[in-house]
Structure 1
Amino acid sequence: MTLEQQIKQAISKGQLQDAINMAEQAIAELDKQGAEHQQHIALLYILAVATRLSGDLKKAIEINESLLALSDSHARAHQELAYAHRAMGDDLQSASHFYQATQFNPALLSSWKGLLQHYQKSHNDQAADLATAQINYLSELPKQLLHARDLMHEGQLHQADQLCRKFLQTHKHHPEGMLLLAEIGIALKVYADAEFLLESCLALHPEHRAAGIEYLKLLTKMGRFQDALDCANNLLVKHPTHPAVLSAKASALLGLGEAEQAIELYQQLLEDSPNQAGLHLLKGHAYKAAGQLEHAVSAYQKAYTIKADFGDAYWSLANTKTYSFSDAELEAMEKQTQQNIHLEDKAHFYFALGKALEDKQSFDSSFAYYDKGNAIKRAQSGYQAEQFEQQVRQHKQVFTKALFNTLNKVGDAAGDPIFIVGLPRSGSTLLEQILASHSHIDGTMELHNILGLASRLKGQKNKYPDIVATLDKDYFQRFGAQYIKDTRAYRAGAPMFIDKMPNNFLHIGLIKLILPNAKIIDARREPMACCFSNFKQLFAEGQEFTYGLENIGRYYKAYMDMMAHWNEVLPGFVLHVQHEDVINNLEEQVARMLDFCGLPFEQACVDFHKTKRTIKTPSSEQVRQPIFKDSMQQHLHYDKHLARLKNLVGKLN
Structure 2
Amino acid sequence: MDTVSGNAGMSTRPVPAEEALARATAILDAQPDAALAQAQAILEKMPGLPPAELLVAQALRRMGQPRAARDQLAALSLRHPRVPAILWELAQAARDAGNVDQALAALDRLTRQQPGVSGGWFLMASLLRRAGRTDDAWRADLSGVHAAARDRDLLDAAMAMHDDRLDAAEAMLDARLARLPDDPSTIRLLGEVHWRRGDMVRALALVERAVDVAPGFDLARDFLIRLLLQNNRLADALVHADILATSPLKNPGYDLIRASVLVRLGDQDGACAIYRHLLAQKPEQPQVWQNLGHALKTLGQQADAVHAYRQAVSHQPAMGEAWWSLANLKTVRLDAADVAAMRGALATLDSDPAERQEDIFHLHFSLGKALEDAHDHAAAFRHYDRGNRIRRTMIRHDAAEFSAEVAATRTCFTSAFIARQGAGGCPAPDPIFIVGLPRSGSTLVEQILSSHSHVEGTMELPDMMMIASRLASRVDDGEFPDFATMIASLTPADRTRLGEEYVDRTRVHRHADTPHFIDKMPNNWQHVGLIRLILPNARIIDARRHPMACCFSGWKQHFARGQAFSYDLDDIARYYRDYAALMAAFDAAAPGHVHRVIYEQMVADTPGEVARLLDYLRLPFEDGCLAFWTNNRAVRTASSEQVRQPIFTDGVDYWKHFAPWLGPLEQALGPLITEYPPKSALS
TM range (shorter): 0.7 to 0.9
Deviation at residue 642 of structure 1 after TM alignment: 1.1
Tell me the secondary structure at the aligned position of residue 419 of structure 1.
Answer: strand
Amino acid at match of 2:219: A
Shift of the 651–299 alpha-carbon distance from structure 1 to 2, 3 Å rule, reads same
Deviation at residue 178 of structure 1 after TM alignment: 5.7
**Would you say the 8 A contact 1:283–1:296 is kept in 2?**
yes
Matched, 1:279 2:288: yes
Measure, in 2, the Cα distance between the counterparts of 1:134 and 1:397.
56
Partner of 1:622: 642
Matched, 1:608 2:628: yes
Partner of 2:613: 593
Measure, in 1, the Cα distance between the counterparts of 2:614 and 2:151.
63
Matched, 1:302 2:316: no
Aligned match for 1:541, one of 558, 561, 586: 561
Measure, in 1, the Cα distance between the counterparts of 2:146 and 2:339.
40
Q: Deviations over 1:606-652 (max 9, x none)?
A: 11001110111110000000001111112111112111111111431
Measure, in 2, the Cα distance between the counterparts of 1:435 and 1:208.
45
**Would you say the 8 A contact 1:144–1:163 is kept in 2?**
no
**Would you say the 8 A contact 1:370–1:536 is kept in 2?**
yes
Tell me the secondary structure at the aligned position of residue 443 of structure 1.
Answer: strand
Matched, 1:557 2:577: yes
Deviation at residue 416 of structure 1 after TM alignment: 0.6
**Would you say the 8 A contact 1:223–1:447 is kept in 2?**
no
**Would you say the 8 A contact 1:266–1:279 is kept in 2?**
yes
Shift of the 368–175 alpha-carbon distance from structure 1 to 2, 3 Å rule, reads farther
Q: Deviations over 1:509-528 (max 9, x none)?
A: 11112111000001111000
**Would you say the 8 A contact 1:520–1:575 is kept in 2?**
yes
The sequence identity of aligned pairs, in percent, is 40
Aligned match for 2:275, one of 266, 271, 283: 266
Measure, in 1, the Cα distance between the counterparts of 2:457 and 2:391.
31
Structure 1 stretch 201-210 or stretch 267-276: which is displaced more?
Answer: 201-210
Q: Deviations over 1:8-31 (max 9, x none)?
A: xxxxxxxxxxxxxxxxxxxxxxxx
Amino acid at match of 2:316: K
Tell me the secondary structure at the aligned position of residue 442 of structure 1.
Answer: strand
**Would you say the 8 A contact 2:371–2:377 is kept in 1?**
yes
Measure, in 1, the Cα distance between the counterparts of 2:346 and 2:585.
45
Partner of 1:494: 514
Shift of the 140–427 alpha-carbon distance from structure 1 to 2, 3 Å rule, reads farther
Shift of the 476–293 alpha-carbon distance from structure 1 to 2, 3 Å rule, reads same
Aligned match for 1:146, one of 133, 141, 158: 158
* Structure 2, gaps ≥5 residues long: 1-141, 677-683
Amino acid at match of 1:306: H
Deviation at residue 372 of structure 1 after TM alignment: 0.8
**Would you say the 8 A contact 1:414–1:517 is kept in 2?**
yes
Pairs within 5 Å for 1:292-371? 292-338=301-347, 339=349, 340-341=351-352, 342-371=356-385
Matched, 1:633 2:653: yes
Matched, 1:451 2:465: yes
Q: Deviations over 1:55-111 (max 9, x none)?
A: xxxxxxxxxxxxxxxxxxxxxxxxxxxxxxxxxxxxxxxxxxxxxxxxxxxxxxxxx
Partner of 1:235: 244
Shift of the 526–135 alpha-carbon distance from structure 1 to 2, 3 Å rule, reads farther
Aligned match for 2:432, one of 412, 418, 430: 418
**Would you say the 8 A contact 2:450–2:457 is kept in 1?**
yes
Let me know the Cα RMSD of the aligned residues. Answer: 2.6
Deviation at residue 383 of structure 1 after TM alignment: 1.4
Shift of the 234–355 alpha-carbon distance from structure 1 to 2, 3 Å rule, reads same
Shift of the 549–436 alpha-carbon distance from structure 1 to 2, 3 Å rule, reads same
Deviation at residue 245 of structure 1 after TM alignment: 2.7
Measure, in 2, the Cα distance between the counterparts of 1:284 and 1:383.
30
Measure, in 2, the Cα distance between the counterparts of 1:198 and 1:455.
23
Tell me the secondary structure at the aligned position of residue 517 of structure 2.
Answer: strand
Partner of 1:438: 452
Measure, in 2, the Cα distance between the counterparts of 1:562 and 1:192.
32
Structure 1 stretch 229-238 or stretch 482-491: which is displaced more?
Answer: 229-238
Deviation at residue 237 of structure 1 after TM alignment: 4.4
Partner of 2:539: 519
**Would you say the 8 A contact 1:357–1:365 is kept in 2?**
yes
Shift of the 239–526 alpha-carbon distance from structure 1 to 2, 3 Å rule, reads farther
Structure 1 stretch 470-479 or stretch 218-227: which is displaced more?
Answer: 218-227
Measure, in 2, the Cα distance between the counterparts of 1:138 and 1:556.
53
Deviation at residue 235 of structure 1 after TM alignment: 2.8
Amino acid at match of 2:311: K
Measure, in 1, the Cα distance between the counterparts of 2:155 and 2:451.
58
Deviation at residue 477 of structure 1 after TM alignment: 1.1
Q: TM-score, normalised by structure 2?
A: 0.71
Shift of the 482–313 alpha-carbon distance from structure 1 to 2, 3 Å rule, reads same
Deviation at residue 255 of structure 1 after TM alignment: 2.5
Measure, in 1, the Cα distance between the counterparts of 2:559 and 2:147.
35
Aligned match for 1:254, one of 254, 257, 263: 263
Deviation at residue 399 of structure 1 after TM alignment: 2.9
Measure, in 1, the Cα distance between the counterparts of 2:576 and 2:659.
18
Q: Whose radius of gyration is greater, 1 or 2?
A: 2
Deviation at residue 422 of structure 1 after TM alignment: 0.6
Tell me the secondary structure at the aligned position of residue 413 of structure 1.
Answer: coil
Q: Deviations over 1:430-484 (max 9, x none)?
A: 1000000000000101111111212332343437845322234312112212222
Measure, in 2, the Cα distance between the counterparts of 1:306 and 1:567.
52
**Would you say the 8 A contact 1:220–1:251 is kept in 2?**
no
Measure, in 2, the Cα distance between the counterparts of 1:535 and 1:290.
26
Partner of 1:473: 492
Number of residue pairs matched?
515
Deviation at residue 555 of structure 1 after TM alignment: 0.7
**Would you say the 8 A contact 1:527–1:650 is kept in 2?**
no
Amino acid at match of 2:265: L
Partner of 2:586: 566
Q: Deviations over 1:256-290 (max 9, x none)?
A: 32221211111112223322111110000000000
Deviation at residue 486 of structure 1 after TM alignment: 2.1
**Would you say the 8 A contact 2:603–2:649 is kept in 1?**
yes
Deviation at residue 329 of structure 1 after TM alignment: 1.7
**Would you say the 8 A contact 1:145–1:177 is kept in 2?**
no
Structure 1 stretch 618-627 or stretch 566-575: which is displaced more?
Answer: 566-575
**Would you say the 8 A contact 1:164–1:180 is kept in 2?**
no
**Would you say the 8 A contact 1:439–1:494 is kept in 2?**
yes
